Amino acid sequence: MPGLPPNTSDTSTTLALASFWRRFSGFLIDSVILGVAISLPLRHLVGSVETDSFLAVLVAFIYGDFFMAFGGGATLGMRIVATRAVNESDHARLTPAQAFRRAFAYSALLFVASLYHAHTSTVNGVRTIDNSDLLFVYLFNVPHFLDLLWVAWDDKKQALHDKFAHSVVVHTSRSTAR
């Protein structure tokens, strides 16, 4: 009606789904954070490449689960690019179970990608991959790459780990990304 203020009691907001490039940027930032802050120091403490890979996947799981469950659905990289993961159906915060499923699915695919170490050999103290085994490296990484790329063609911009957890990643304003 004319002369009445707009209805501001409606608290439901439709948040825009985060684009592939925004999500990929957050992934790269998180990868650098995990790689520099965690994986490099672990390499000096751990003797084998297999153990280092397993610990890196475990740390990625803990990092993802912690920030999804207790960090408002946004890892540090997601905060920088102003995105967060929310429930697919109502855009509410992720439940702890959803956060666990999301981190578990991502880490499981990352673990499969790390299995190529079984096809490496040590020559003069350096881990190497024979050209004949290079195909295995690519094959083990396919599930992880598919997970990352799935966002590019999916209608809901979901990665495979989002589908498993029934979550979506939305673009937030800088003030709500904290």
* Separation CA 170–CA 176 (nearest Å): 11
Question: What's the pTM?
Answer: 0.78
Report yes or no on 4 lying in a domain: no
CB-CB contact of 108 with 91 (8 Å): no
Which pLDDT score is estimated for 106?
Answer: 94
Domain count, the chain: 1
Chunked mean pLDDT (size 10), the chain, 178 residues: 42 74 95 82 68 82 93 94 95 94 94 72 60 72 91 94 95 64
Tokens 């024979």, residue?
A: 130
CB-CB contact of 115 with 140 (8 Å): yes
Report yes or no on 125 lying in a domain: yes
Report yes or no on 97 lying in a domain: yes
Report yes or no on 67 lying in a domain: yes
Report yes or no on 42 lying in a domain: yes
Which pLDDT score is estimated for 140?
Answer: 81
Which pLDDT score is estimated for 9?
Answer: 37
Full domain range(s) for residue 115 = 20-171
Report yes or no on 13 lying in a domain: no
